[in-house]
Amino acid sequence: MDLAFTPEEQKFAAEVRAFVKANLPADVRDKVKNGKHLDRDDYMRWQQALGKKGWLVYTWPKKYGGPGFTPAERYIFENICAEEYAPGIIPFGTKMVGPVIYTFGTDEQKQTYLPAIRESTVWWCQGYSEPGSGSDLASLRTRAEKQGDHYIVNGSKTWNTMGHWADWIFCLVRTDPKAKPQEGISFLLIDMKTPGITVKPIIMMDGGHEVNEVFFDNVKVPVANLVGKENEGWTCAKFLLANERLGIAEVPASKRGVRSLWQLNDDPSLKEKIADVDLQVQALEMSELRALSTMQLGGAPGPEASILKVRGSEIQQRIAELAMEAVGEYAAPYQPDMLFRDSNETPVGPDHAPPAAPRYFNMRKTTIYGGSTEIQKNIVSKAILGL
C-alpha cells in the first residue's frame, strides 16, 4: 500500500477541494462547523450538488453509475469533504440499500431505484431494529404474509434514523415464522406513503428529532419489491451491515474532531490526552486504508469492518469526552436552542461550549448502532481468531 500521492491524485485532490468550496452552501458549512442541527434541505442541497457532479455515490463502481474511485481517490474525497465542513452523506441510499440493489436486485429494480439514489431525489431510511430485536437482529418479529402479488406487512421498527424525512424504507421482515431465525427473513423495499405506515418521533436529549418509531398496520407491498429471494434476506442484511460498519469508523470526521480539540484548551494534561487520541485516529486510518485496498482488488468488506466499527466508535466517544473536558464548567448549562438554525440566544461561555454536552450524550449510541461492540467482538473472535 503506497501512501504517497501521484501527480494525478494530487490533481484530483485540487479538483475536489475546488468543487467543495464552490458548491457547499455557506450556511450548511457554518452549521456543521458550529455543531448545529441540519435539516432535510441542508443535506439535500449538498447531496444533489454531488449527484450532478457524479460523486454522490462515490463508493459505487462505474458499472452502476458511480465514479469508480480508487482507494486513494476515495480517501482524498472523504478527507477533503471533512476538512471543508461538508455534512456527511446520508448512507441509507448511497452506502446501504443501493449496493444491496445492484448486487442482489433484479434488472428492473436497478433501473427503478438506482438513478434516484445517484441524484439524491429520493430519501431512504432503514427498518432493521425493533423494540425487542436490536443486537439480536435475527429475532425480529415484523411479519410479511404473501397474498397473491403483494405482501401484507405488520409490526414495528425503532431507532429509525431520519424516517420522518424519508420517501422509502428498506426493511427486514419475517416471511417464514417456522424457519430458523436467519432463514425466514426477507428484504423488502417499501414506499413510506403506503397506507398503514405511521411514524412517531423519538426526541433525543439534545432536543433533536433524529430517530423514530415506524409502525406497519396491514401495509400492502408488491412482491416485485422483494430484493433477492424470499427467506434469504439475511444474506442481503449481512452484506449491508458490513458496508455500514466500514462507514461507521468515520475516520475523516474524527480527524476533524481532533484538529478542533487542539484549538480548545492549552492545558498540558489535556493536550497529552488529545495527542493520545490523535495517534489512535492515525492507527485507525491505516487500518481503514488496508481494508479499502483489499476492496479495490475485488474483495468485499469482511470481519475487519467489525474491527473498524469498534475502534472508530470508541474514538468518536473519546473525542466527545475530551471536548467536554476542554470546555469545563461551560458544558453544564443546557442550551438546546443553540443547536438550531434560528436561535437568537447568547451562549453561556465560549461559542463552542453549547454543542459539547449534547454531542457527548448523542455519541453514546455509536458503540450500539450498526451492531453493538459486544456483537462485533463475537464476529472477530469467530471469523479471525477462530474461537
Rounded Cα distance between 159 and 130, Å, is 8
Query: What pTM does this model have?
Result: 0.88
Domain ranges (residues) in the chain = 7-89, 124-232, 249-383
Rounded Cα distance between 57 and 47, Å, is 10
Residue 63's CB is within 10 A of a number of other CB atoms, namely 8
Q: Does domain 249-383 have CATH number 1.20.140.10?
A: yes
| More confident position, 151 or 301 | 151
CA-closest candidate to residue 31, choices 297, 306, 341: 341
Q: Look-up: residue for cell 451491515?
A: 241
Pairs from 297-302 (Cβ < 8 Å, separation ≥ 24): 300/239, 300/242, 301/242, 301/243, 301/245, 301/246, 302/242, 302/383
Contact 233, 62 (CB under 8 A): no
- The residue-averaged pLDDT of 162-182 equals 95
- The pLDDT score that the predictor gives to residue 352 is 80
- The pLDDT score that the predictor gives to residue 339 is 77
Distances (CA, A) of 246 to 42, 102, 285, 339: 25, 18, 12, 28
DSSP 8-state symbol, 267: -
pLDDT at 108 over 90: yes
CA dihedral (207, 212, 213, 219) in degrees, to 10, reads: 150
DSSP 8-state symbol, 38: P
Q: What pLDDT band is residue 386 in, cutting at 50, 70 and 90?
A: confident
Q: Does domain 124-232 have CATH number 2.130.10.10?
A: no
207-218 burial, b if ≥16 CB within 10 A, otherwise e? ebebbbbbbbee
- The pLDDT score that the predictor gives to residue 358 is 87
- The residue-averaged pLDDT of 87-104 equals 96
Rounded Cα distance between 314 and 352, Å, is 22
For the CA atoms of the chain, what is the radius of gyration? 21
- The residue-averaged pLDDT of 321-349 equals 80
- Strand 124-127 and strand 168-174: the pairing is parallel
pLDDT at 1 over 60: no
Average pLDDT, the chain: 90
Q: Helix, strand, or coil here: 212?
A: strand
- The residue-averaged pLDDT of 201-218 equals 91
Q: What pLDDT band is residue 53 in, cutting at 50, 70 and 90?
A: very high
What distance, in Å, lies between the first and last C-alpha atoms of the chain?
30
Query: How do residues 109-144 score in pLDDT, each as one tens digit?
Result: 999 999 999 999 999 999 999 998 877 888 999 999
- The residue-averaged pLDDT of 290-309 equals 73
Q: What pLDDT band is residue 257 in, cutting at 50, 70 and 90?
A: very high
Residue type, 202: I
- The residue-averaged pLDDT of 20-46 equals 95
